[in-house]
Homo-oligomer: A and B are copies of this chain.
Amino acid sequence: MTTHPDLARVSLGAIQRPVAVALDDVAGELGRIVAGDFPVIAAANEHLLQMKGKLFRPTLLLLSQQAADADEPRVVTLAAVVELIHLATLVHDDSVDHSALRRGMPTINALFSHQIAVIMGDYLYSRAIIELVNLGDLEALRVFARVTNEMTVGEMYQLEAHDRLAYSEVQYDQLIRAKTASLLSGACEVGALRGSATARAALARFGMHLGMAFQIADDLLDYTQPEHVTGKPFGLDLKEHKVTLPLIAALSRMTAAERSLVGRLMDTDAPSDDIVGEVIRVVERVGGLEYARRRALDRAQQAEAELDALAPSVARDALRDSITYAVERHS
- In angstroms, how far is the closest chain B Cβ from the Cβ of A297? 30
CB distance A122 to B138 under 8 Å? Answer: no
* Cβ-defined partner of A38 (8 Å) among B136, B142, B156: B156
Q: Is A223 an interface residue (CB 8 A)?
A: no
CB distance A129 to B153 under 8 Å? Answer: no
Q: Is A148 an interface residue (CB 8 A)?
A: yes
Chain A interface size band reads 35 or more
CB distance B123 to A41 under 8 Å? Answer: no
- In angstroms, how far is the closest chain B Cβ from the Cβ of A166? 15
Q: Is A149 an interface residue (CB 8 A)?
A: yes
CB-CB contacts of A31-51 with B at 8 A, as 1s and 0s? Answer: 000001010110000000000
Q: Is A115 an interface residue (CB 8 A)?
A: yes
Number of copies of chain A assembled together: 2
CB distance B127 to A133 under 8 Å? Answer: no
What's the Cα separation between A52 and B141 when bound, in Å?
Answer: 28
CB distance B92 to A156 under 8 Å? Answer: no
What's the Cα separation between A35 and B152 when bound, in Å?
Answer: 14
CB distance A141 to B146 under 8 Å? Answer: no
Known contacts A130-B145, A130-B146, A149-B127: does B122 contact A156 (CB below 8 Å)? no
Residues of B within 8 A of A127 (CB): 149
Residues of B within 8 A of A121 (CB): 118, 122
Residues of B within 8 A of A142 (CB): 130, 133
Name the residue on B nearest A124 (C-beta): B152
Residues of B within 8 A of A214 (CB): none
CB distance B130 to A118 under 8 Å? Answer: no
Q: Is A77 an interface residue (CB 8 A)?
A: no
Contacts of A100-119 to chain B: CB distance below 8 A = 114-116, 118-119
What's the Cα separation between A157 and B145 when bound, in Å?
Answer: 27
CB distance A123 to B149 under 8 Å? Answer: yes
Known contacts A123-B152, A129-B141, A146-B130: does B118 contact A95 (CB below 8 Å)? yes
What's the Cα separation between A141 and B145 when bound, in Å?
Answer: 12
- In angstroms, how far is the closest chain B Cβ from the Cβ of A223? 24
Q: Is A125 an interface residue (CB 8 A)?
A: yes
CB distance A145 to B119 under 8 Å? Answer: no
- In angstroms, how far is the closest chain B Cβ from the Cβ of A65? 21
- In angstroms, how far is the closest chain B Cβ from the Cβ of A152? 4
Q: Is A197 an interface residue (CB 8 A)?
A: no
- Residues on A facing B (Cβ under 8 Å): 36, 38, 40-41, 92, 95-97, 114-116, 118-123, 125-127, 129-130, 133, 136, 138, 141-142, 145-146, 148-149, 151-153, 155-157, 159-160
Identify the 3 closest CB pairs spanning chains A and B, nearest first.
Answer: A126-B149, A123-B152, A129-B145
Can you offer 13 A-B residue contacts whose CB atoms are under 8 A? A40-B159, A41-B153, A41-B156, A95-B118, A116-B156, A122-B151, A125-B125, A126-B149, A126-B152, A127-B149, A130-B145, A136-B138, A138-B138
